[in-house]
Structure 1
Amino acid sequence: MKVARLCVTLAAALIATQLWALPDDRNQPIYISSDSADIDDAKGIAIYRGDVEMTQGTTKLTGDIVTIYSKNREIQRVVSEGKKKQAYYEELQSEEKGKLKAWGKTIDYDFAVEKIELIKQAKLIQKGDTFTGDHIEYDQAKQLVNATGQQGGKTGGRVQMVIQPSQTK
């Protein structure tokens, strides 16, 4: 298992540059559509249910249930759960990295520490490179990927990676 983590970390270090949505995205309004919403401003919790779609600039998050945790109207954490289908996250990245796409039964995005956690049936694609496993943690600040497979799962508990060849001329 340690070897798989090391391979994923090294591969990510080789292919990843700064993983950030476009700088302007964080200054854009957030749009949310859902079948229902329960918002408790005093506690800083908003729960959206039913085919939820949340966008901010070029960043998109979907799920069956999306919970937003905020403090002083600043989002601290967003958790998207997929019940009928997987939760999905995408962002257009700077420096010609294209779109980052991520799936999982649960996506937990902690803004405070700049980490995206993909839980159960996790998959992350960046510029054609693909990581799949049972659990993937993506640390945006440190540009690290940690992935683990599911013991006894279809892949025998292993993490799967596809790394595209360099496109330099």
Structure 2
Amino acid sequence: MQSTPSTSRASAKAFLVVLGAGLLTSLPAFAKQSDRDQPVNVTSTSFDGTQQQPNGKEPGKVIWTGNVVLTQGTLKVTGNKATGYLDGDNQITRVVVDGAATMQQQDEQNLWMRGKANNIDYKVDQDYAVLTGNAHVEKEVDPADRKKLNQSNGDKLTYNTANSTMTGESNGSAPVHMIFQPKQQPAAAPAAPAAQPKKP
């Protein structure tokens, strides 16, 4: 099913939230839970960082530049540049990725969610990521057919990395757009052979 309604900005957000709920009820409910217990690893061409100041008023910050790749279990976020924010224990709480930003994560059935946008704001300590600017998210729905995907497009999509739920909105004239794959129908049983007439 394809849905491209003409909606106002106010109703567009509500529309996608409702469709998102319908979409996700047919999907596994939880992202890979073991990801939350994994360390956050970041690689890049270069970085520049400072720890949180002793007065606690200035949070620590790290700026990664060039081929940035952040991983946490199956979760992977990439981009051209990323800014990481640190708490008082110098643990990453938030990463803002700019420039050809992408993300992906498996759920408990090992099905992939993949997203891309101009910007991804990943709230590590709050388990959600906000994809902004030409945001696109696709989700595998069938372990036997990895090419079967449900898709969402919008100006802003918010993806919960803990339970795979998603909301979104359209801030411009273009409406939100979602594509649902049809449910696989069971194969028809073969017709029984016609009975042969008995020989006299």
- TM band (smaller chain): 0.7 to 0.9
**One-letter amino acid of the structure 1 residue matched with residue 178 of structure 2:** M
What CA distance in whole angstroms lies between the structure 1 residues aligned with 2:185 and 2:83?
41
What is residue 115 of structure 1 aligned with on the other side?
128
Q: Does 1:33 align with 2:43?
A: yes
SS at match of 1:73: coil
Partner of 2:97: 80
Deviations 1:2-58, CA, capped at 9 Å, x for gaps: 2523442332342343342341x3343433221210111123211101121122332
Letter in 2 for 1:37: F
Check conservation: 1:114, 1:140, Cα contact below 8 A. yes
Give, in whole Å, the separation in 1 of the partners of 2:171 and 2:45: 33
| 2:116–2:135 Cα contact (<8 Å) kept | yes
Size of the alignment, in residue pairs?
A: 160
Measure how far apart 1:102 and its partner are. 1.0
Query: Secondary structure at 1:18's aligned position in 2?
Result: coil
CA contact (8 A) 1:8 1:145 kept: no
Q: Structure 2: which 5+ residue stretches go unaligned? A: 1-6, 53-58, 141-148, 187-200
Native 8 Å contact 1:119 1:136 kept in 2: yes
Shift of 1:109: 1.3
Larger radius of gyration: 2
CA distance in 2, matches of 1:141, 1:27: 11
* Structure 2 counterpart of 1:132: 153
Q: Quote the RMSD (CA, aligned, Å).
A: 2.4
Q: Which of 115, 119, 141 is the matching residue for 1:106?
A: 119
- Aligned-pair identity (%): 25
Task: Provide Cα deviations, 1:54-77, integer angstroms capped at 9, x if missing partner.
Answer: 223322110111111121133211
Deviations, residues 55-110 of structure 1 (Å, cap 9, x unaligned)? 2332211011111112113321111111xxx200111221x151111111111111
Judge conservation of contact 1:106–1:120 (CA < 8 Å) in 2.
yes
Structure 1: tracts of 5 or more residues without a match = none
Higher relative contact order (CA 8 A, sep 6+): 2
Report which of the two has the higher share of strand. 1
Moved more, 108-117 or 126-135: 108-117
State the TM-score, normalizing by the size of structure 1. Answer: 0.80
Give the distance between the partners of 2:160 and 2:115, measured in 1 at CA.
Answer: 13
Q: Give the equivalent residue in structure 1 for 2:71.
A: 55
Q: Are positions 1:89 and 2:103 aligned together? A: yes
- Counterpart of 1:44 in structure 2 is 60
Alpha-carbon distance in structure 1 between the residues aligned to 2:92 and 2:182: 37
The answer as to whether partners of 2:28 and 2:107 remain within 8 angstroms in 1 is no
